[in-house]
Amino acid sequence: MQDPRLRLTSTLLLSAAAFASLSGAALVFAWWLVFSKRSESLPGIKPGIVLVVTILVVGLFTTLTGGDGLSYILRMGVVVLIASWALSEYRDGDGIDTAVWALGTKNGFDLGLTGELAILSMRRMYIEYATARKAILMKGTGTTITFQQHIRILSMLLVREFYASPLQAAVLARRGYSGGAMVCPGFCKGPTDRIATITALFVFLGMLAIS
């Protein structure tokens, strides 16, 4: 889906429908089968395992405390599928374009810029984390990375981001940014964008009708 406005709308509608009930989750899963690129929109193996394990643990805990753990696992599984699809379709500039379109060049620009910088920072941290894991093994103190070392790497990355953020802010200020800016957002639509969003709306309304 190319239009980020329709993608955001679809994501919100589908996430709400999937989380609200099992039947809603089933409808959303069907939507995902039809409109997503399926395997291409799935998270990577390692992030996928982390997500699945997290959902399973919470589901198990829910069951043990008297709740419907299975339902939680199925509903959250579909929510994660939709989130992963939305992330895989994201393109640089989508956030700022959508925010400016929705909220204008003052608040919208500020919100969009914050979002874009956050996504950029997360991507950078992901790459740095992968490199640091390799570099640690080169110290010759072991062939695997301990849990403590993982925590250290992630902590170091966070600290470095905190150190970098005032510099980034100073560069923006130096360039004349003091809040809000002019952006002319441009959107293009894929052939199935409208039908996918309309279907997502019907899925949401269907979920409301069923429940």
Partner 1 sequence: MEVCRVEIILDGVTYSRGSFSLQATGRFTRGLHLISGPVGSGKSTLSQLIVGLLPPQQGTVCLPENARSTLSFQFPEHHITGWTVGEEIESWGHNKEAICSEDERIPPLQTAVSDLSRGEMKRLHLACLLAKDWDVIILDEPFASLDCREKTRLCRRLESLQETAIVLIFTHEQVHLPRVSYLWEMDGGILSCCGPVPEGISSWHNPPVHIREALSRQVLPKNITVNDTLEALCRIPD
Report, in Å, the least distance between residue 118 CB and partner 1. 21
Point out which residues bind partner 1 (CB under 8 A): 128, 131-132, 134-141, 149, 152-153, 156, 159-160, 163
Distances in Å between the alpha carbon of 109 and those of 57, 93, 177, 181? 39, 11, 11, 6
Amino acid at 167: L
To 5 degrees, how large is the angle CA 165–CA 170–CA 171? 100
* CB nearer partner 1, residue 40 or residue 182: 40
DSSP 36: S
Nearer to partner 1, 162 or 174 (CB): 162
What is the signed CA dihedral for 124, 130, 132, 135, rounded to 10 degrees?
-140
Q: Yes or no: say if 98 and 116 are a contact pair by the CB < 8 Å rule.
A: no
Q: State in angstroms the smallest separation of the CB of 149 from partner 1.
A: 6
116 vs 124 by CB, closer to partner 1: 124
Q: What 3-state class would DSSP assign to 43?
A: coil
Helices (H) and strands (E) in the chain, counts: 8, 0
**Which one, 135 or 173, has the nearer CB to partner 1?**
135
For the bound state, the minimum distance from the C-beta of residue 153 to partner 1, rounded and expressed in Å, comes to 7
In angstroms, what is the minimal distance from the CB of 131 to partner 1? 5
Q: Residue 138 or residue 188: which is nearer to partner 1 going by CB?
A: 138
Work out how close the CB of 46 gets to partner 1 at its nearest, in angstroms, rounded to a whole number: 17
Q: Indicate the helix (H) or strand (E) that contains 87.
A: helix 69-89
